[in-house]
C-alpha cells in the first residue's frame, strides 16, 4: 500500500544520500542504491522511474524539509535575518549533495527547481514582513534570482562564507 511505498522510497533516498558520502554522483548505480537500501530492483522502479527522478525527489524532499523549518520560524515570528540564516544552514548541512548537483549534468534542472522554490519562499516571506515595494513582483524576482545565484555559486565552489552571506545583501 501507500505507507509501504512511502517507507521504501525513504529508505532508497537515505541509501542514496549515504552513498554520496563515499562516491560521486556519476559513479552511483541503481544496484548500489538497492543493495544499501536492502530493497529489490523492482521496489526501486515502483518508486522511481530512474536515477533522475530519484534525484528530483531528493531535491524536493530537502526543499520540503527546509520549508517546514521556515514555517516554524514564521510561526515564532522570527526576523528575516534568522530566516536567511536557516536557509544557509540547511544548504550547508547538505553541502556535499548540492555541490555535486551543481557540478553535474543536472545543474540546470536543479537550479531551476531550487530557483522557483526560493522565489516562492522569498515572495511569501516579503509578504510576511509586510514589505511591499510598489514594483513588488519585479523587484522580488530580481532579488530572488540574485540571491539564489549567489547561494548556488557559493555551494558550487564550496565557499562556505558566501553561502552564509547570501542573505545579507537582501536585507538592505
Determine the Cα–Cα distance for residues 151 and 145; give it in Å rounded to an integer: 10
pLDDT digits (tens, 9 = 90+) for 67-100: 888 888 878 876 667 777 888 888 888 888 888 8
pTM score, whole prediction:
0.75
Name all contacts of 31-40 with Cβ < 8 Å and 24+ positions apart: 37/8, 37/11, 37/12, 38/11, 39/8, 39/11, 39/12
Q: Is 147 left (phi over 0), alpha (psi -120 to 50) or beta?
A: alpha
pLDDT tens sequence across 119-150: 777 767 666 555 555 555 666 667 777 777 78
For 26-47, how does the pLDDT look when each residue is reduced to its tens digit (9 = 90+)? 899 999 999 999 999 999 999 9
- More confident: 110 or 9: 9
Q: What is the Cα–Cα distance from 154 to 157, expressed in whole angstroms?
A: 5
Amino acid at each position: 500500500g501507500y505507507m509501504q511505498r512511502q517507507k521504501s522510497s525513504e529508505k532508497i533516498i537515505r541509501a542514496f544520500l549515504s552513498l554520496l558520502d563515499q562516491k560521486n554522483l556519476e559513479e552511483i548505480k541503481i544496484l548500489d542504491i538497492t543493495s544499501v537500501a536492502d530493497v529489490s530492483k523492482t521496489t526501486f522502479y515502483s518508486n522511481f522511474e530512474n536515477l533522475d527522478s530519484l534525484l528530483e525527489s531528493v531535491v524536493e524532499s530537502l526543499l520540503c524539509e527546509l520549508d517546514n523549518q521556515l514555517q516554524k520560524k514564521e510561526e515564532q515570528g522570527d526576523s528575516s535575518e534568522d530566516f536567511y540564516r536557516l536557509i544557509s544552514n540547511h544548504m550547508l548541512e547538505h553541502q556535499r549533495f548540492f555541490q555535486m548537483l551543481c557540478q553535474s549534468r543536472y545543474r540546470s534542472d536543479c537550479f531551476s527547481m531550487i530557483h522557483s522554490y526560493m522565489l516562492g519562499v522569498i515572495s511569501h516571506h516579503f509578504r510576511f514582513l509586510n514589505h511591499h515595494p510598489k514594483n513588488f513582483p519585479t523587484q522580488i524576482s530580481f532579488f530572488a534570482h540574485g540571491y539564489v545565484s549567489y547561494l548556488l555559486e557559493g555551494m558550487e565552489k564550496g565557499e562556505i562564507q558566501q553561502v552564509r552571506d547570501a542573505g545579507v545583501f537582501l536585507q538592505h
